[in-house]
């Protein structure tokens, strides 16, 4: 059982709703679902009671897309003052420092995921506010301005000594065969991590693009070796001729992709950075 730090959200995000849908299909209990996505169990019970289908062919089932639509509509119509919670600050700081995203890109990503909309001006204002502050609670964010493009001396382009984030042998999705896009055969797999509260890795999700058959594996951390072992354990049960391609995100947890490809006799590819539609099957519709 995965125990994660709980944070009470005023509103579930789009990603959390898809996580709920996926975990329910995997017959995981409501209390454990709350642990995995980092909310109180009462929020899960309220969400299911409020947004499970009442009629039609999906009656009694929870469909994330149908639950998200009215929530977004209500959220847009409600006047609100945006306050940066500690969870949001940690998220913004991580994207800024480690992913090297700009405040503009961070703002757009949060909006896309259904988070509370935070303008890039608000993010900039917060960064410069914590830089000047002497308060202890803000000190850990006081150097964030250095991650801004103009916050300090710019990093040289073409710095061949900086290998942070590089994945050896990476082949981009643009080189993947066109037949994969047409979904006319089985064996083209998308693999992605499902994140828990605090951006701790909770589940490894493997989905066939055509049949939508999905395999879920719990993870203890974000190490490439553990991800490799989980994929080896589950995917080697299939015939080596069945799995043809595997498409990964760009996380370092997939650094052993070449070893996976050799083990399964499959070609491996990576999505374009920050492009959700490249792995839309596993990202948005996990059945």
Domain limits, the chain: 14-77, 86-147, 173-284
Full-model pTM: 0.46
Q: How far apart are CA 207 and CA 187, in angstroms?
A: 9
Cβ atoms < 10 Å from Cβ of 144: 20
Q: How far apart are CA 53 and CA 67, in angstroms?
A: 9
Class of domain 173-284: alpha beta
- Position 269 scores a pLDDT of 93
HSE-up of residue 176 (Cα within 13 Å, Cβ side): 26
- Position 241 scores a pLDDT of 75
What pLDDT, in 10s, does the model give residues 188-225? Answer: 999 988 766 555 556 888 888 888 888 888 888 778 88
Checking if the pLDDT of 105 tops 90, the result is no
- Position 246 scores a pLDDT of 92
Q: How far apart are CA 163 and CA 156, in angstroms?
A: 13
């Amino acid at each position: 059982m995965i125990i994660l730090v709980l944070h009470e959200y005023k509103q579930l995000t789009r990603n959390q709703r898809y996580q709920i849908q996926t975990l329910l299909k995997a017959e995981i209990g409501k209390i454990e679902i709350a642990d995995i996505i980092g909310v109180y169990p009462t929020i899960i019970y309220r969400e299911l009671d409020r947004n499970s289908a009442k009629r039609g062919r999906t009656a009694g089932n929870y469909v994330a897309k149908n639950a998200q639509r009215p929530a977004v509509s209500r959220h847009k119509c409600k006047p609100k003052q945006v306050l940066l919670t500690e969870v949001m600050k940690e998220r913004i700081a991580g994207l800024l420092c480690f992913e090297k995203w700009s405040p503009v890109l961070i703002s757009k990503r949060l909006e896309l995921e259904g988070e509370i909309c935070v303008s890039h001006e608000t993010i900039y204002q917060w960064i410069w506010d914590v830089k000047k502050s002497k308060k202890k609670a803000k000190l850990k964010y006081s150097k964030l301005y250095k991650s801004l493009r103009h916050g300090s001396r710019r990093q040289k382009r073409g710095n061949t000594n900086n290998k942070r984030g590089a994945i050896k042998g990476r082949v981009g999705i643009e080189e993947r065969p066109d037949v994969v896009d047409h979904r006319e055969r089985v064996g083209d797999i998308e693999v992605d991590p499902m994140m828990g509260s605090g951006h701790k890795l909770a589940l490894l999700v493997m989905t066939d693009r055509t049949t939508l058959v999905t395999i879920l594996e719990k993870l203890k951390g974000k190490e490439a070796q553990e991800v490799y072992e989980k994929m080896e354990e589950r995917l080697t049960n299939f015939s080596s001729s069945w799995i043809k391609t595997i498409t990964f995100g760009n996380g370092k947890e997939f650094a052993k992709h070449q070893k996976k490809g050799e083990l399964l006799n499959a070609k491996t590819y990576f999505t374009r950075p920050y492009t959700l539609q490249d792995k839309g099957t596993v990202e948005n519709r996990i059945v």
